[in-house]
Structure 1
Amino acid sequence: MVTATRSLGRTDLKITPIGLGCMQFAGAGLVARLFYPPLEQPAVTEIVDAALRAGTGWFDTAEMYGRGRSERALTTALRDLGVAPGQVPIATKWTPGLRTAGSIVRTIDDRLAALQGHPIALHQIHLPYGSFSSLTAQLTAMARLAHEHKITAIGVSNFSARQLELAHAVLARHDLVLASNQVQISLLHRDVERNGVLDLARRLGITLIAYSPLRSGLLTGRFHDQQARSGLLPFRRLAGGFDERTLRRTAPLIEELITIGRAHGASPSQVALAWLITFYGETVVAIPGASKPSQATQAAEAMSLDLSADELSRLDQLSRSAAA
């Protein structure tokens, strides 16, 4: 059975196994619009409300998501819902592209302003490349913010095993721990098992935060219906992996998600999320997005879904074929 909360790495922060990814709150920008419908503030507030009511205990956003628009939309929703600053953890990220490590310190007040009084529980380096400064310099800047109590914990995103080991060592020199690494993990994306990231995370006590845990909606099962596919734009089909070959290869996995879901009174997406936060033990948590309140509710309710060892194993085996 999934526990109510987990420690974020080896920090004192407690988070639920499922949080809410907030890229869809960006409101503008090419990437966000390709994958999510634009959301007005009332819709954002409804989604955040649904997530909280269903048990979601934290939120993940980023500077890159609309240049602060996602951060501001999230915290506006929290304010309107009467959630006090610090009541729920918020994770955000610094964008390294064409910047130096010094901008981590210089832009922290911008991040705090966008979060409108809500503290930064977890500050993450969004990518391991693109900066004019070394990873060591970037992590040293993050350490400075932690020691100045402007952030609580430090994380990274899309780091390899080698880069994780470096990050861990740099922070250790400042008497700090690396809390997390945000990477893509799902039943259809299991690279962390082969590239050393999962093994290293377990050894060092680093939480892996799984983004795209439903593989851009592919694991919901709704795109395996021919009529549903016909409404997809060509770019959305291909960029999301919805080409005919992929849909045929993943069909047995989707059918098993549906079968297991029926046995539990759950949707395929809930089964996929429950598998993800259970199969890897407490090392992996997930941050599905939601563009409707019902999606936020369903995602949070997946935390109470208790899959049997046999169900976990069947999905594991089918996943290995589907992810090929």
Structure 2
Amino acid sequence: MIATRVLGSSDIEVTPIGLGCMQFAGPGLVAQFYPELDGTTTDGVVKAALDSGITWFDTAEMYGGGHSERALTTSLRAAGTTPGDISIATKWTPMGRTATNIGRTIDTRITALQGFPIDLYQIHQPFGSLSSVARQVRAMARLRSEGKIAYVGVSNFSARQMERADRILREHGTRLISNQVQINLLHRKIEDDGVLETARRLGITLIAYSPLKSGLLTGKFHDSPDLIGAVRPIRKTLGGFNTRTLTRTAPLIDELWKLARAYGATPAQVALAWLIGYYGDTVVAIPGASKPHQAAELGAAMNLRLTDTELSRLAELSAPLN
């Protein structure tokens, strides 16, 4: 039985690993990161995630303008999952919009999710809106008071922005329960910018996106550097896929492989086990998967428990790379 964690001060219990659903976005901008998946593949990925024990899924309006939300919930239905069986987090896109758009578009989000409730509604980023973050947060609070969403979260917020959002929500009788930020062995900024300390002090969960650094921590690119050539340009740039990066990170990847062999696991599973173990209950992760076997591998990582010595060793090796 996989031990669950509670998102912030909510009553939402989730597994330490959820499934990120950016890869279900279909044609458009996200296709510059990942190839488009057909319905059969999406069904297989979602079913494998469920079978592995994963209980929650993170999507967003930005992921294909509702395509990811519809693909996810269609596949959940195909797997025999009904509303209430799992939890879904989605996000509102601020770019070029005012805070009033949050209320105007919520029914579109509800429709795209095809009967599955919005357990967590997040402001996708703290910039790009024509309204202040404070107005956006108040609009989110209204949605909760109206019963259209269960809880409010944010994404890519700084420690100061996160604390202010929580203060505003308190004034409306609720709390900020999560902040979604990049966290992985090669991106540990939360330890230095106040986000981790603030989250722990306020009881806010950090949801780690890109927990495998766009695949760099799987070890496959170190084993076969030629694979970098097939990585799509934007993903290659954001993930730092180049020969220099492979050389710098080789000692860390070697250690991931060493532990993987010892546990009968993969480097990706070890990297995920470090992430959900090193920071305790404060951090949960949402890796993505474009193939069923990858989703199964993600879920299995929740059963891997690294020792304190192993957690510290990986932290030590990764520190100079951050």
Same fold (TM over 0.5): yes
User: For residues 268 and 274 of structure 2, what CA distance do their matches in structure 1 show?
Assistant: 10
Where 1:156 maps in the other structure, the secondary structure is strand
Which residue is 1:271 aligned to? 270
How many angstroms does 1:226 deviate by? 4.1
| TM-superposition CA deviations, 1:165-192 (whole Å, max 9, x none) | 1101000001101010000000000000
How many angstroms does 1:3 deviate by? 5.6
User: For residues 230 and 72 of structure 1, what CA distance do their matches in structure 2 show?
Assistant: 31
Which residue is 1:238 aligned to? 237
Code of the aligned partner of 1:85: P
Count residues with an aligned counterpart.
Answer: 321
Code of the aligned partner of 1:277: I
User: For residues 233 and 276 of structure 1, what CA distance do their matches in structure 2 show?
Assistant: 24
How many angstroms does 1:234 deviate by? 7.3
Query: Does structure 1 conserve the Cα–Cα contact (< 8 Å) formed by 2:137 and 2:165?
Result: yes
How many angstroms does 1:243 deviate by? 1.2
Where 2:121 maps in the other structure, the secondary structure is strand
Verify: 1:248 aligned to 2:247, yes or no: yes
User: For residues 192 and 174 of structure 1, what CA distance do their matches in structure 2 show?
Assistant: 28
Which residue is 1:287 aligned to? 286
User: For residues 276 and 14 of structure 2, what CA distance do their matches in structure 1 show?
Assistant: 13
User: For residues 228 and 77 of structure 2, what CA distance do their matches in structure 1 show?
Assistant: 40
User: For residues 107 and 232 of structure 2, what CA distance do their matches in structure 1 show?
Assistant: 41
User: For residues 217 and 160 of structure 1, what CA distance do their matches in structure 2 show?
Assistant: 25
Which residue is 1:305 aligned to? 304
How many angstroms does 1:322 deviate by? 2.6
User: For residues 33 and 228 of structure 2, what CA distance do their matches in structure 1 show?
Assistant: 16
Greater shift, 232-241 or 151-160, is seen at 232-241
Code of the aligned partner of 2:90: T
How many angstroms does 1:321 deviate by? 2.0
Where 2:119 maps in the other structure, the secondary structure is strand
Query: Does structure 2 conserve the Cα–Cα contact (< 8 Å) formed by 1:222 and 1:228?
Result: no
User: For residues 72 and 64 of structure 1, what CA distance do their matches in structure 2 show?
Assistant: 13
Query: Structure 1 vs Structure 2: percent identity of aligned residues?
Result: 61
Which residue is 1:168 aligned to? 166
User: For residues 118 and 176 of structure 1, what CA distance do their matches in structure 2 show?
Assistant: 22
Query: Does structure 2 conserve the Cα–Cα contact (< 8 Å) formed by 1:253 and 1:322?
Result: no
How many angstroms does 1:230 deviate by? 5.4
Which residue is 2:48 aligned to? 50
Which residue is 2:102 aligned to? 104
User: For residues 147 and 87 of structure 1, what CA distance do their matches in structure 2 show?
Assistant: 23
User: For residues 261 and 225 of structure 1, what CA distance do their matches in structure 2 show?
Assistant: 14
User: For residues 243 and 75 of structure 2, what CA distance do their matches in structure 1 show?
Assistant: 39
How many angstroms does 1:4 deviate by? 1.4
Classify 1:59/1:233 alpha carbon distance in 2 versus 1 (closer, same or farther; 3 Å). Answer: closer
1:122 to 110, 120, 135: 120
Query: Does structure 2 conserve the Cα–Cα contact (< 8 Å) formed by 1:201 and 1:207?
Result: yes
2:136 to 135, 138, 154: 138
Code of the aligned partner of 1:260: L
Q: Please, which runs of 5 or more residues in structure 1 have no aligned partner?
A: none
Q: Please, which runs of 5 or more residues in structure 2 have no aligned partner?
A: none
Provide the TM-score with structure 1 as the length reference.
Answer: 0.97
Classify 1:176/1:314 alpha carbon distance in 2 versus 1 (closer, same or farther; 3 Å). Answer: same
Which residue is 2:79 aligned to? 81
Query: Does structure 1 conserve the Cα–Cα contact (< 8 Å) formed by 2:159 and 2:194?
Result: yes
Provide the TM-score with structure 2 as the length reference.
Answer: 0.97
Where 1:107 maps in the other structure, the secondary structure is helix
Code of the aligned partner of 1:123: Y
Query: Does structure 1 conserve the Cα–Cα contact (< 8 Å) formed by 2:33 and 2:232?
Result: no
How many angstroms does 1:227 deviate by? 4.8
User: For residues 184 and 304 of structure 2, what CA distance do their matches in structure 1 show?
Assistant: 17
Structure 1 segments of 4 or more deviating over 3 A?
226-231, 236-239
User: For residues 291 and 65 of structure 1, what CA distance do their matches in structure 2 show?
Assistant: 15
How many angstroms does 1:80 deviate by? 1.2
User: For residues 228 and 94 of structure 2, what CA distance do their matches in structure 1 show?
Assistant: 38
| TM-superposition CA deviations, 1:147-167 (whole Å, max 9, x none) | 111100100000001101110
Where 1:216 maps in the other structure, the secondary structure is helix
